Every structure is written in C-alpha cells, then in structure tokens.
Amino acid sequence: MLSTFKRAAIPAVRKHYRDAKDAFAICDLPGLAELADSVPKSNHNRRDCDPRRSWYGNKSYNDSVAQIRSGDLAGVAASDKLIDAIEIEAPMTHAWQVRHDVVGGVPNVAAYLAGHPLCMRRRERTTSEQAPLSIVVSLELSGGIAIEHMRKRGAAILALVRRLSNVRPVELFVCCSIGNRPGYVAAHTICRVDTAPLDLARAAHVLTCPSVTRGIGYASGGYLLNKHGLASGEWSGNWAYGDDSVYRRNAREILSSVVAPNADVLYITAAHSNDPAVTNPIQWLKDKIAEYGGLAEAA
C-alpha cells in the first residue's frame, strides 16, 4: 500500500517560512519497496548506494530493497544483547489480576455455595491494559554520524519496540524527511512496520541498516520533491525545509499529525552526536520503558 500527497506545512513551520510545503509518502513495507523501485536509476542516492561504500552500510540499493521485502536478521543480535541486559537491570513487571478457577489460594464462598466449579480465586501476573502506543522514529542522519553509531541506535530502538510490545499494543512508523532551499519544502517518507506480531527481520533492516536511510530514504524523498513540483533536479543534501532546527522542533507534530493524530505517541528524533540511545542505551531503555511501559506493579 502506497499513498503520496502534497499539502501546506503545519502552522508552526509557516511561522518561519510562509509558503513552506510538504510532500508525503505513506506506506507499509511492500509500499516502501514499490516507492524505492520507482525512483529513477539516475538518482544519485540510488546510484551511489553500493556495496563498496561504507557510508551506505556496504549494501547495494537493490539488495536493500529486496531485504525490505524479505527481511535481514543481521541487526537482531545487538538488540538481543540489550534486551538481555535490560532484563537483568530492569525486569519488566506486570500487573496482578485475580482470576476465578477450580484451584487457588482463596475461596469464592458465594460461587462454592451456588455449586459453580470456578469457586477459587488466584492471582497471576498479566500485562496491564494500556492504550495503543505509536512509536514514530526519524531515520535521518547528518553526514557526521558514524555507521556504527547508527547501527547501535537502531538496535536500541528495536529493543525498545520489542519490550514495549510485551505490555501494550504498539505501532511502529519509520520516517525519513529531507528538504530543499530555496522554497523551504520537505518530503517525508513514512512507513508502517507490522508489530502484531512484530516483523522482526524487516524491522531490524529498516532500523539498523544505513542503506535504508541514505539510499532508499533520501532517494525516495528526492523523487517525491520532483514528483510534486516542490523541487527540480537532484536533492542537494538539505534537511527538511533546509533548516535542521525548524525541522527538529516540529517533526513530532508534523509526523504524528499524519499517522497518529489522536494516539499516544513516542517520537524518537533524528540521530545526533550525543544520542543517549547510543551513549547509554541501557539507561535510555530503562527511562523509556518506565515512561511508556508502566513498570510499576499493581498492589
């Protein structure tokens, strides 16, 4: 499934750039592969995404598209290690719930006298009932972000999605936004990744492989800018609206307004040099799980 459209930028962006406009591609993983295939082969991000180039994670564009369809488990092991570590330091707790059963620690006298077979009460741990959570992840990378930095960050985010999925319904959206100047425009490629159950191999690929962002994401964004008449020629490497600070301040509102306007949203901003998901992933995971996973046990 793939949908593309254009609209005026949100009011917060138009305060800075009155005529700012956005182009969007909203898709699932098959739709993302379809979009990637439609990018002209002359596009420099598609052309340069090559196994010989570490900047793209040493993976070709076509191989990366194929793994969007089939998945790649290469990034899962690092996520497993983080999950093991966080389980030791901050085991996931669950709420207690009383269930009626044929055995248990406390009798239900009324049920017993009525001859009901489920006349005992027992307590068991259960996941707490919480509203669905939409996790929206910006994948953009400044040129100075190291490949290893990006892979570690992706592994931490994957570990967080896996842990939070244990205690509440989770939706995962991965997003890549780019822009151009003059014109103050932005193109946003937003892809929904299956989480019920989690499509682990494909989620690992899109979160941890630089070829998805620097190859497919950037190439698709440049294609969208041209398709919707917001730019012409090659993308010149600018952040959305040509302004890193404006984009970062407003990205949560921009992206969530399209994919999850009324949901509880955990937005994970574009990578930066002191990203806590890389510098201290265990603490970052503990903080996010406590905030969004409801670690406190019911009395």
* 117-166 residue pLDDT tens: 776 777 654 445 567 899 999 999 888 888 999 999 999 999 999 999 98
Give the per-residue pLDDT at 92: 52
For 238-262, the pLDDT digits (tens) are 999 999 999 999 999 999 999 888 7
Answer whether residue 107 shows pLDDT above 80.
Answer: no
Answer whether residue 271 shows pLDDT above 60.
Answer: yes
Answer whether residue 99 shows pLDDT above 80.
Answer: no
Using 50, 70 and 90 to split pLDDT, how confident is the model at 74?
very high
Is 52 or 131 the better-scoring residue by pLDDT? Answer: 52
* Cα separation, 90 vs 285, whole angstroms: 9
